[in-house]
Amino acid sequence: MFRLLMQGGIVMYPLALCSLLSVAILVERLWHFWRADRDPQELVAHARTALPRTGNPHPQWPEAPAPGVRAIAAVLRHRELPRAEVEERVRTVLSAEGLRLSAHLSIVGTIGNISPFIGLFGTVLGIIRAFRDIGQVGAAGPAVVAAGISEALVATAAGLAVAITSVIIYNVFVTWQSRLLRRAELAAAEVISLAVRET
């Protein structure tokens, strides 16, 4: 398999680097997203018990790297403010959480966009090599052009494989991020309603 990949020529080095970057970001983002994925109903239930019963405006709330936790924490910390201001603070928190969750995803998206072109560049180099071999030998038999065509096809396949994998990784995390932020927004809105009724 390694020998086959090396037939793709020099473009296999940037494609290998792109592939390693995608895998590294995949592992790193999986860890962060897994920690950020909290059940919103569990958070709302916890917030119900955290709402102050004795006049304490700042009930205890656990710190966790999850949008829902931090959005509800903002509600509980600022529940004495007008509803519009609390909602604005929640939007600010969720915007910051969105930036945190999307860290490095633009790299994966860029890899998904440029990998086919890197593979296409390898294809062009392989075709150039095939025609160069024809010019040197003076005849166009299958054995003469085989190396160049092989380089072109391997480079194309490698570029498409890296691109498809990166696009899948990017889309999965973007969808996951949207779901996390939307669930956090709904949970925070429910806690805002509870807090407003108790003031």
Residue 144 CB-density burial (10 A; 0-12 exposed, 13-18 middle, 19+ buried)? middle
Which 8-state DSSP code applies to residue 61? -
- Nearest alpha carbon to residue 167 among 118, 93, 116: 116
Q: Which domain holds residue 144?
A: 2-198
> What is the rounded distance in angstroms from the CA atom of residue 105 to the CA atom of residue 26?
9
Query: Residue 50 has what pLDDT?
Result: 67
Cα angle for residues 191, 196, 199 (degrees, 5° grid): 130
> What is the rounded distance in angstroms from the CA atom of residue 69 to the CA atom of residue 45?
12
Query: Residue 198 has what pLDDT?
Result: 46
Query: Residue 129 has what pLDDT?
Result: 78
pTM over 0.85: no
Q: What is the full per-residue pLDDT of the chain (199 aa) written as tens digits?
A: 556 556 667 888 899 999 999 999 999 999 999 988 888 788 788 777 766 554 454 555 666 788 988 888 888 888 888 888 889 999 999 999 999 999 999 999 999 999 999 989 888 888 887 777 777 766 555 665 666 677 778 888 889 999 999 999 999 999 999 999 999 999 888 888 887 554 4
Query: Residue 38 has what pLDDT?
Result: 83
* Number of domains the chain is built from: 1
Query: Residue 196 has what pLDDT?
Result: 59
